[in-house]
Chain A
Amino acid sequence: MLHVKNLHASVAGNEILRGVDLDVGRGEIHAIMGPNGSGKSTLAQVLAGREAYEVTAGEVTYNGKELLPMAPEERSREGIFLAFQYPVEIPGVSNTYFLKAALNSIRKHRGEEEYDAADFLALLKERMKLVDLDPALLNRPVNEGFSGGEKKRNEIFQMAVLQPTLAILDETDSGLDIDALRIVADGVNRLRDPERSVIVVTHYQRLLNYIVPDVVHVLVEGRIVRSGGRELALELEEKGYDWLREGAVVGK
């Protein structure tokens, strides 16, 4: 459902992605691992349509459509969801209002009827259970004053409400203790669906103990240098990334 071919992207003249190739099938979970600065988050942001990154070469098709010309909101309406590494605070906009506006714009795009207030609230209550979110957070401004764990949980809660076909989790495990990590991972697992693909971007293997990937990719210096099964993650845990970094240099 997602095909990335020779993707190059740069920010402020620095090339970060240097030819990424990636194929994600329907219903699959892919993990993208790599050292700091390897381009993992850039890849996640480019797929979500972040305008700060300039795509200089390559192409991306998603469900048979050209992804790169689409605006961020079009990608969202087509079913792409990015769980942010650093969720943004939006003072003055309640979580509920925000989600209703988001869901209705997606439904409108699909030609579906917009939710009314009562139905929408019922939906929220049901989906909150997936991530064990404190109901008080619904009426608070989006992410404002949330703890790190609450922010990440709120991202997965949004995913549960918006029901994307491709979810990209950008370092969702960073800054989480083990309990929070488990809650977030459980939420993602409950959202597993044959129609839903997930890309998990992470630096550490530990998240993959909970969200078990079908394929693991290693991104080093802007290229995927190795792909494999789950055991690759364990190998990385043991050996670190340096052996692959050298390989990348040699392969250049």
Chain B
Amino acid sequence: MNRVSGIPRTPAEQVEWYVGHFKSFEKRLNGEASSDVHTLRRRALDRFSGLGFPGTRDEEWRYTNVSPFVSIPYEPVSEPGGRRVDGGGSPATKFLEGIAVRGLPGYRLVFLDGHFAPDLSRLPENGAHVRTLSGVISASEGVNGDLMGYLGRGAEKDRENPFTALNTAFLREGACIHLPENFHSDEPVYLLFHSTHRPEPHCSHPRNLIVAGPGSSVPIIEEYSGPGNQPYFTNSVTEIFAGRGSRVELDRFQHEGENAFHVSSLYITQEADSAVTVNSVSYGSAMARHNITAVLAGEEAECTLNGLTLTTGTQHIDNHTVIDHATPNCASHELYKAILEGSSRGVFNGKIFVRRDAQKTDAKQTNKALLLSDDATIDTKPQLEIFADDVRCTHGATVGQLDEEQIFYLRSRGLGPEDARDLLTNAFASDVLNRIHLEPLREHLQAILHVLLCKGRILAENE
């Protein structure tokens, strides 16, 4: 056995823990171990081993201390966990109703503990544009070969993030969406990553690949959830390649269980005239770190990143965004809002690069935090590095409490102080939620956040 026994306390033991995982993982791959994909994995494992997990001395992790989480002995999951179902009816249907957003049309891929659950999923019959990544990898020839060329192309540029390297080392399962040229759909592709109850702490490394062909458009949902009473670790990576003139809206929401550790890294590469919008709503887990890196590689590309986080108790949610204006005439818009209660902590770090040739760049970044208690804190840091001279870049950050003038105005019209505060807090959040175009999802999130904000917190409402 290569497995490290006990708790991985030191950095070396932590690395060794996952190297042990990798060896068991490799054994189960059979013939795949000699493929190009596996070379990618091995290189990533080496990179991870060299980097180790970050400490707070690392500038990128200064405000986010992951040490207590990376020393938990998360086990890999070779088989998905059991499903808890109450009452009668078809177990699969019942289970799905308990964990998934209802009323969404379109295709659905459900993953339990990182494993694809075909009976809970709804895939196109011809299997053309929405598949599992494992399916694409195991049949990687012909047109799939072209598709495989995209794998890692965005994420591999990130040489610093050990979580991305770790994900790539275990890259195997997740969704693969490949939109043909001019393909268009208003119906979403819904990706649900759910962790189940298990006796031991466990981990998964979901990996998604989204390639939008020229002129194509589709909405995509990524959801992460899990049980409330046990520690587990989700480490996801999604790569988006938006072809010329394509439009992608990705709505992501994270409501992992209250002891979960969640890291997600999204790498976006945009060609000319493409428009990518990411709406991120994050309110679960004990500790979450969301990284988004967008490279505007073609002219007239537009990137919009909106985010809303809600934290309470001792939760910690960190959003790190990087927008790289590499070509002229591109636009980026960022609006990140945070509502913090209890002694929770938030981090927003927004980096914008404007390269020397990226004239006529229009970049706007806004970060607003609402502190509902004296003990909640947020660290916000805009970082603009501008090397072109004819650009418009603005950034603004506000941190504050509810406005007493507004509260008095509402009370003078008969609303009680609690109702006035709830109304104003909901209004603060709705600014971001209203940007989600998919109505069933928007309404689902509005209802959940309304409950979270007004009636006390209900983390892991699936339980």
Contacts and interface: CB of A to CB of B under 8 A. Distances in A.
A10 B406 CA distance: 22
Interface in B365-417: 403, 405-406, 408-417
A149 to B, nearest CB: 19
Contacts of B430: 92
A162 interface: yes
B414 A109 contact: yes
B406 A76 contact: no
Nearest to B434: A92
A76 B419 CA distance: 14
Given A72-B411, A92-B430, A105 B416 contact: yes
Interface residues of B, number: 21
Q: B419, B426, B427, B428: which has the most chain A beta carbons within 10 Å?
A: B427
A87 B408 CA distance: 11
Contact of B412 (A72, A92, A103): A72
A39 interface: no
A48 B412 contact: yes
Given A51-B408, A90-B406, A102 B415 contact: yes
Given A88-B405, A93-B424, A82 B431 contact: no
A73 B416 contact: yes
B424 A90 contact: yes
A105 B414 contact: yes
Contacts, number: 70
Given A101-B419, A101-B423, A90 B409 contact: yes
Given A92-B428, A93-B424, A101-B419, A49 B412 contact: yes
A122 B405 CA distance: 30
B409 A84 contact: yes
Interface in A92-111: 92-93, 98-99, 101-103, 105-106, 109
Contacts of B412: 48-49, 72-73, 75-76, 81-82, 84
Interface in A66-83: 71-73, 75-77, 81-82
B369 to A, nearest CB: 15
A91 interface: yes
Contact of A106 (B414, B424, B427): B414
Contact of A91 (B411, B416, B417, B431): B431
Nearest to B403: A88
Contacts of B408: 50-51, 72, 88
A51 B417 CA distance: 13
A90 B427 contact: yes
A105 B413 CA distance: 9
A29 to B, nearest CB: 21
Interface residues of A, number: 30
Contacts of B405: 88
B406 A102 contact: no
Interface string B320-351: 00000000000000000000000000000000
A172 interface: no
A158 interface: yes
Nearest to A105: B414
Given A88-B406, A90-B406, A76 B411 contact: yes
Interface in A166-198: none
Nearest to B431: A92
A75 B411 CA distance: 9
Contacts of A84: 409, 412
B424 A73 contact: no
Contacts of B426: 92
Given A91-B431, A92-B428, A73 B423 contact: no
A158 B430 CA distance: 24
Nearest to B426: A92
B409 A73 contact: no
Contacts of B428: 92
A42 to B, nearest CB: 14
Given A75-B412, A158-B413, 15 more contacts: A48-B412, A71-B411, A72-B408, A72-B412, A82-B412, A88-B409, A92-B427, A93-B423, A93-B424, A99-B413, A101-B419, A102-B410, A105-B415, A109-B414, A162-B414
Interface of A: 48-51, 71-73, 75-77, 81-82, 84, 87-88, 90-93, 98-99, 101-103, 105-106, 109, 141, 158, 162
8 contacts: A73-B411, A73-B416, A77-B414, A82-B412, A88-B403, A92-B427, A92-B430, A102-B414
